[in-house]
Every structure is written in C-alpha cells, then in structure tokens.
Amino acid sequence: MDRYAVIGNPISHSKSPRIHSLFAAQTGQDLVYEALLGPIEAFAATVEAFRAAGGRGLNVTVPFKLEAFDLADRHTPRALAAGAVNTLAFDVDGILGDNTDGAGILRDISVNQGCPVAGRRVLLLGAGGAARGTVLPLLEAAPASLVIANRTASKAAGLADEFTRSGPLRPLGCGFAELAGQRFDVVINATSASLSDAAPDLPDGLYAPGSLAYDMMYGKGDTPFMRAAREQGAARLSDGLGMLVEQAAESFLLWRGVRPDTAPVLAQLRAGL
C-alpha cells in the first residue's frame, strides 16, 4: 500500500491522519496515512528515512515548513510565494515541495462559505508564515483591494512590498491603528493571537454590512477573534476547520489525482470537536 504521513513536533494532536483516511475510504484509494514525530534536530533525516522506506508523500506542519522548503528539489509557484512547504511529493525526479494552505483557505471561503473574494475588499491580519502563504492565492482571486495589517506595521509593509509585482493589484501594508475609517467585506485573522486567548486590537467599524470574519484558528466554540468580530458587527463568522480539511484535499489531489468531497469529512470533524 502507498504510504503517506504528516510530520511535525508535536504531532499527536494532528487531525490529518483521520482526514486522509476518510478521503481514501471515500475515493477508494489504497493508501495508509500515519502521524510522524519529527525530532527537532533531525527533520531531513526523518523525511529521507520515510522516503527510503517507500513513502510517497508527506504533509509538513509546525515547526518544519521552512526546512521542508529547503529540502525540496523543486517548488510549485504557490510554495515559492509562500516561502514555506506543507506538502512534499516524492517521485523519480526527486522531492516536489508544494503549499496548499492558501488554496485551502480560498476554497473554504469561496465554496464552503459561499463568499467569493472577487471584487471584495479584503483585510488580512498578520504578517507571519500563515499570512504570507495566503497573499498570492488572495491576489489571484481578484479582490477589489487587499490590505495587510499587522501589530508590527513594518512587517506588514514588508510583506505587501514583496507582492507588488504579482499582478495588477498592489496590496497595502499597515498597522492596526491605520485601519480606522476603512471598511472591509472579508477579514481574515492570520495572527497567532488566539493561541494566547487574545484577539488583535482592531479599531471599531471595520466590518461592512454582510461581511465575513474568518479565523484560521479553530477550536470548540468561537475563537477570541470571532467573539470580537461578532461584537464589532461582522455579519458572518467562520473558524479555520474548513481550511484544514480543504488544504488536506489539495494535498490529496496532488498525490492521487483525485479531489475528495470535503463536506462529509468536515461535518464529521466538526461533530468530534
């Protein structure tokens, strides 16, 4: 049977083995998918050992996405734009590095949430790895505007500058205070604030009528960002569980050439939170 795994540290909490096993059963693909604990000092050696033992591909999670980028022989354009890799595919030509996180969030927002980004005013919060991986897929979805805002304004400006030549739309970077007076249709939280049970400190009045507040984080119940967004008038709220399932589906498609139906898998995961 073809072998796949998710590698990270820690890894025992990962939902990826469950998601990919459900995908495999649904599509009739003959594969096994495990969780692999990567020693902090031995990521590359662990990947090579898995590959030598017949592994066909890996998902990569915290803290190895940058090392996975360096390990790959070739990269997809979206992995190059993200500067990080969450999917490795092993073939006769070596190791291909891809990044399916951005495609996953775009698909969750546009298809699952029924909120196409085209023509909308989009605000991306954060300027770390999670935000970076989302910029190119967002620009490709042709929003009316894209503002990247970060607690440390200079990092948002730097990230926006990297994408000034990616297409006709130039993203703008700023700090949170400079958002005052602006309105957005889609607000995406790519900060790690929820990890410390906090929400980004945003000015009031950002949410346009009918707007969506989307948090890349998820958990049982609303995240701190979702609670704050509700109070500030966001019409619709979503956490990032759908993104998790959609990025997995993109990886599965890359490896197997088959796109699984994500809706029943998302429903099962949601029920188990």
Cα 258 to Cα 12, 45, 89, 230, 253: the distances in Å are 27, 30, 15, 37, 5
Give the Cα-Cα-Cα angle 218, 215, 116 (nearest 5 degrees): 125
| Shortest separation between residue 263's beta carbon and ligand ATR, angstroms | 27
Minimum CB separation of residue 250 from ligand ATR in Å reads 19
Q: In this complex, which beta carbon is closest to ligand ATR, that of residue 12 or of residue 196?
A: 196
Tokens of 211: 């707007």
Hey, what are 17's tokens? 């083995």
Residue 145 CB, nearest approach to ligand ATR (Å): 20
Write out the catalytic residue numbers: 65
**Position of minimal CB gap to ligand ATR:** 128
The answer to whether 202 and 179 are in contact (CB under 8 A) is: yes
Where on the chain is the footprint of ligand ATR (CB under 6 A)? Answer: 126-131, 150-152, 155, 191-193, 196, 198, 200
> Which residues, at least 6 apart from 100, have a Cβ–Cβ distance to it below 8 Å?
78, 86, 87, 247, 248, 250, 251, 254
| Minimum CB distance to ligand ATR, residue 131 (Å) | 6
Q: Report, in Å, the least distance between residue 271 CB and ligand ATR.
A: 27
Nearer to ligand ATR among residue 200 and residue 242 (C-beta) = 200
Closer CB to ligand ATR, residue 129 or residue 137? 129
Please identify, using beta-carbon distances, which residue of 45 and 198 lies nearer to ligand ATR. 198
Which lies closer to ligand ATR via its Cβ, residue 125 or residue 212? 125
| Alpha-carbon distances of 132 from 42, 94, 190, 257, rounded to whole Å | 26, 26, 9, 27
